[in-house]
Homo-oligomer: A and B are copies of this chain.
Amino acid sequence: MRYTIFGESHGPATGVTLTGVPAGLTLDLAAIDRELARRATGKNNLSTARREADQVEFLSGVFEGKTTGTPLTLIIRNTDQRSKDYSKIKHLPRPGHADYPAYLRYEGCNDYRGGGHFSGRLTAPLVAAGAIAKQLLSQEGIFTGAHIASIAGIEDERLNPVVNERDRLEAVAEKEFPTLSSERGEEMQKAILEARSEGDSVGGAIECMVCGLPEGVGAPDLDLNVEGIFARHLFAVPAVKGVEFGAGFSLAYMRGSQANDSIYMAGNVVKTRTNHAGGVNGGITNGMPVVFTVVMRPTPSIAKEQDTIDLDTWQNAKLTVEGRHDPCIVHRAVPVIEAAAALAVCELLEV
């Protein structure tokens, strides 16, 4: 199952074309809507004021409620666009955004309104595609769940990496603010509002677990290894700037005797006592949960005045970004990371 995301923030629609969807999956449309609601804007003042219905329309690949097995395209019409907000910054690339490299890459022809194809809006069809992937994986007993690992330096509890944490993660998904520890979630929300009140934004990290993935999947080789496949899907999510598996960057500080996950028989199941490897050795799953963390950079759209250049005059310039923006996208990105992970698993299972 492969996907192509298309659309622009202020174009007619965003959407996704999925190929390789198995035939005969009864789509749970309510579940797709629930996933979209998790990433939707406007729940509270933590997020942009832009409100989108995120109504999914299936154009192909579904018949009588089931997938047909042929390419599936779904779209989400854009409805609440205010293109005027962006026209005046057409020539003033926003620091931290893709405006300047996109101007070069697309020779000035990209749709600059609201970030165009680079907009966070494009994560809506990704979440919809991920919701379909989750339904497929669910039939195989595979679950992907995530929570905020940290925002603005405030850390949530961590998952227990040697345990199937499905129940706790399903509970997190029900929360308006997806942390394991509600207190920490409160603190994070305060930090977000504080940054917002200062015209600023905050970053964070998301921890994700994939449970139920069969052991012995993947290979060490380029294009086949589990970590590479996940990383490709995750780095395609806007704002992700780092991906680590298991203990990740902490491994730089460990000794081999600490880092090695002892293998043992838990009854007649093979397990490891720790899971610093994040469920993967040599690019292959080892049967433990696959656990990874991604870092999400702070939202680049801030209210403070910033230095940039003017693409008409190629002179230095000042820019104040207006429009509606999120002071933090980490909490909204939780279902997006789950979706990317689910789509990565679908690819992986074919390898």
CA distance A59 to B60 in the complex (A): 15
**Please, what's the 1-or-0 string for A273-299, where 1 marks a CB less than 8 Å from any CB in chain B?**
100111011111111000000011111
Q: Which residues of B contact A141 (CB under 8 A)?
A: none
Task: Determine if B265 and A98 form an interchain contact, defined as CB atoms under 8 angstroms apart.
Answer: no
- Min C-beta distance of A140 to chain B, whole Å: 17
* B residues in contact with A235, CB < 8 Å: 225, 227-228, 231, 283
Interface positions of A from 250 to 287, Cβ below 8 Å from B: 251-265, 268, 270, 272-273, 276-278, 280-287
Assess whether A282 is in contact with B4, with CB atoms less than 8 Å apart: no
User: Interface residues of A, CB < 8 Å — how many?
Assistant: 140
Q: Which of the segments A28-36, A174-182, A212-220 contacts the partner chain?
A: A212-220
Q: Which B residue sits closest to A297, measured CB to CB? A: B251
A203 to B257, CA, bound (A): 11
Contacts of A12 in B (CB 8 A): 57-60
A144 at the interface (CB under 8 A from B): no
Q: Is A320 an interface residue (CB 8 A)?
A: no
Is the CB–CB distance between B298 and A256 below 8 Å?
Answer: yes
A68 at the interface (CB under 8 A from B): yes
**Cross-chain contact A59 with B15 (CB below 8 angstroms):** yes
Complex contacts, A278 vs chain B, CB 8 Å: 241
Residue A135 is within 8 A (CB to CB) of chain B in the complex: no
Q: Which residue of B lies closest to A24 (CB)?
A: B109
A242 to B293, CA, bound (A): 9
Of A69, A221, A242, chain B has the most CB atoms within 10 Å of the CB of A242
Q: Are B252 and A150 in contact (CB under 8 A)?
A: yes
The reply on A81 being an interface residue by CB < 8 A is: no
Q: Which of A44-69 contact B (CB under 8 A)?
A: 57-63, 66-69
Q: Is A323 an interface residue (CB 8 A)?
A: no
Can you list 12 A-B contacts (CB < 8 A)? A12-B58, A12-B60, A17-B17, A19-B221, A24-B109, A100-B270, A101-B284, A228-B231, A231-B235, A244-B295, A255-B302, A263-B309
New A-B contacts (20) at CB < 8 Å, excluding given A150-B252, A273-B307:
A6-B70, A8-B70, A11-B63, A12-B58, A24-B108, A63-B110, A66-B109, A68-B111, A101-B218, A101-B285, A104-B287, A202-B254, A202-B255, A202-B256, A222-B233, A229-B232, A244-B249, A251-B298, A256-B299, A257-B302
